[in-house]
Structure 1
């Protein structure tokens, strides 16, 4: 099966990532450090893409492993962490086999994200941590006109929960591969229905947040 990101993998690695977000303007690196915390153990990155977060996860003391549907993206990730090509709704891992898991700016690429969360709950060891870092569901999407970062305009569409290629910029990813959207209540309910327990929340980016992170843990069985 050919994944949408296969078509843009080289652009993503060589043009989009290197100059797109200098520093940590969205607070993604801070969220990984503070919400994932120190290892040791095996940390699974779901939707790892080109593996750009593996070094930071490793620096925290974890042993990173990654899964992604896109062979093109994994071609760039192969030297950065152990990888497997897999559908995130059917992870090729035993129940309770990983100590922690993360997904970073990837949940909108997963149309069946509630099913992904159920798989996360299955593969985590009892009490294992899962950190979701994604675009902010209330301020990012086809409904959010961010052409002026100081005055984000929220148009009709937030409540619809839909897939779209509509984008306020031609320099990003959504206009090329599309994105799925869940309103905040639907997103948080999916965590609860997967059996994940909330431990903390973080926003990042200014003046209107772009990133929303959720720290959870699996049930103690």
Structure 2
């Protein structure tokens, strides 16, 4: 992904260092839980979640389209450059799959969910940790740390670079937004059964996370 190739060094060296807390870590830990076997991370970026996945007992493996991001990730976990919507992985072969704060970067995310259902073992688990559809988007202004201003646009469902800040990622590479029902229906349509949910972030959630398994 050329857009992420261009910002990979900034993301690793400036953006991540400016984040005092990883907003997805709490939800990932709680929903993935302890386990063993390969845990495939879709859109692994620079591999910043590999340590947590490994701490829980899993063996992290990452895939991403951006060679620039993978250049940083290779020191943190085994990687492959691949399209998450066309995974080079056998059916029913992976113990766990995670997607952390990437679904808005994947316009074909519903095809990605179908791939998750295909590669998961019958007893496997999928954890989606994403920006919260209701409170994060081109319609949401988080400039006031005590409140979130939500403007019209939530139901539009579109790709945009509109953002309340020029210090983040959206204004640089854009993002796709799906309203909550469309996103959750995408899991069901892909053949996944939703098990549990979590939210994280204050004063209103930054993250909506879900755990699912293949039917």
Q: TM-score, normalised by structure 1?
A: 0.95
Equivalent runs, 1:132-211 vs 2, <5 Å: 132-211=128-207
Q: In the aligned structure 2, how far is the partner of 1:156 from the partner of 1:149?
A: 20
Alignment RMSD: 0.9
Shift of 1:39: 1.3
Q: In the aligned structure 1, how far is the partner of 2:205 from the partner of 2:145?
A: 10
**Is the CA contact 1:149–1:208 (under 8 Å) kept in the aligned structure 2?**
no
For 2:51, which of 50, 55, 68 is the aligned residue? 55
Residues 74-131 of structure 1 deviation map (CA, whole Å, 9 limit, x = unaligned) = 0000111110111111011111111000011110000011000000100101121000
Q: Which residue of 2 aligns with 1:4?
A: 3
Equivalent runs, 1:8-157 vs 2, <5 Å: 8-20=7-19, 22-24=20-22, 26=23, 28-157=24-153
- Secondary structure of 1:175's counterpart equals helix
Shift of 1:154: 1.2
Q: TM-score, normalised by structure 2?
A: 0.98
Q: Which residue of 2 aligns with 1:213?
A: 209
Shift of 1:33: 1.4
- Secondary structure of 1:213's counterpart equals strand
Q: In the aligned structure 2, how far is the partner of 1:31 from the partner of 1:152?
A: 21
Number of equivalenced pairs? 215
- Secondary structure of 2:188's counterpart equals helix
Runs (4+) off by over 4 Å: none
Shift of 1:180: 0.3
Shift of 1:29: 1.7
Q: Which structure 1 residue ranges, 5 or more long, are not aligned? A: none
